[in-house]
A and B are shown apart, each in its own frame.
Chain A
């Protein structure tokens, strides 16, 4: 079954076509969401939302872009919405703590480990993912699509509805920012060896 046929069947409401779509794209959706929200439970929730959205909106899909590009766009939008909601909740909790008795302890998120990282790189990748999480939205999306999904700059430009030059600039700025963030990270970690008093 080619993609056009799959889209046609989906637009007619075929459940078997929907099952096939989920089977085919679930890892792509989950991995992208995981890269952005950096939490397995949230990424699973987003993946469900994405496919429900795809099922609801497939009739409005005109075929201007590839199906995968369209699904990527929905995933990114849902993931970024989730991040915004999370930040709003954090701000609200902070305001509440100002008026509360001050006993509430802020839950610190556990360090995120991407399951696909090779064992010898785990520690460094954890630091890098922490830094990625602090990047501005667009830089984060471009970097995640490039590094975790292995997308080319041209494909990223299509997904983000921007030019190739913009994507290259976004990734370059992301790298610069990551270098700055990692410098701070390692400055705190590395302790200068004590000098011999003799």
Chain B
């Protein structure tokens, strides 16, 4: 009981320990460091692209998209496709002895 009272008292004192706290001051020559950083760090388009691609959300979305495309390709390739047409290797006799009607040009060109 005594211990709990002691703890409660300490907690209240601790919660009030930041009363009247002064503002922490920045280290001297901050402006010089800012200037140096501004000149040092000129981001290129590649840096920005790298940063964008490297974001977890973009990276995960890209990965999911690739997996999805792969899955789609696999599923569609698994479907029974149409049988490949068998090439006609032998010319049928009908074709061989067929009579084709000559065009008007052929008729005209028969005359020497």
Partner-B contacts on A (CB < 8 A): 19, 22-23, 26-31, 34, 40, 43-44, 47-48, 51-52, 55, 114-118, 121, 124-125, 127-128, 147-149, 175, 178-179, 182-183, 186-187, 190, 192
Besides the known contacts A114-B21, A124-B14, A124-B17, 8 further A-B residue pairs in the complex with CB atoms under 8 A apart = A22-B31, A31-B23, A121-B17, A127-B14, A178-B15, A182-B10, A190-B10, A192-B3
Partner-A contacts on B (CB < 8 A): 3, 6-7, 10-11, 13-15, 17-18, 20-27, 30-31, 33-34, 37-38, 41
How far apart are B13's CB and chain A's nearest CB, in angstroms? 6
Q: Is the CB of A44 within 8 A of B26?
A: yes
Cα distance, A55 to B11, chains bound together (Å):
43
Contact A117 B17, CB 8 Å, known A28-B23, A52-B37, A192-B3: yes
How far apart are A70's CB and chain B's nearest CB, in angstroms? 18
Cα distance, A26 to B25, chains bound together (Å):
8
Q: Is the CB of B3 within 8 A of A190?
A: yes
Chain B residues contacting A179 (CB-CB under 8 Å) are: 11, 15
Of all A-B residue pairs in the complex, the 3 with the closest CB atoms, nearest first, are A116-B22, A30-B26, A124-B17
Q: Across the two chains, which residue of chain B brings its CB closest to A181?
A: B11
Q: Is the CB of A117 within 8 A of B21?
A: yes
How far apart are B15's CB and chain A's nearest CB, in angstroms? 7
Chain B residues contacting A178 (CB-CB under 8 Å) are: 15
Q: Is the CB of B13 within 8 A of A124?
A: yes
Cα distance, A148 to B24, chains bound together (Å):
9
Chain B residues contacting A183 (CB-CB under 8 Å) are: 7, 11
Q: Is the CB of A27 within 8 A of B26?
A: yes
Chain A residues contacting B13 (CB-CB under 8 Å) are: 124
Q: Is the CB of B17 within 8 A of A31?
A: no
CB-contact partner of B34 in A34, A52, A115, A186, under 8 A? A52
CB-contact partner of B18 in A40, A52, A128, under 8 A? A128
Cα distance, A178 to B10, chains bound together (Å):
12
> Could you list 7 A-B pairs, sorted by A, with CB under 8 Å?
A23-B31, A28-B23, A40-B27, A115-B22, A125-B14, A178-B15, A190-B6
Chain A residues contacting B33 (CB-CB under 8 Å) are: 44, 48
CB-contact partner of A147 in B14, B21, B26, B30, under 8 A? B21
Cα distance, A28 to B30, chains bound together (Å):
13
Cα distance, A155 to B25, chains bound together (Å):
22
Cα distance, A178 to B14, chains bound together (Å):
10
Chain A residues contacting B20 (CB-CB under 8 Å) are: 118
Q: Is the CB of A128 within 8 A of B6?
A: no
Chain B residues contacting A23 (CB-CB under 8 Å) are: 31
How far apart are B7's CB and chain A's nearest CB, in angstroms? 5
CB-contact partner of B26 in A47, A121, A125, A182, under 8 A? A47
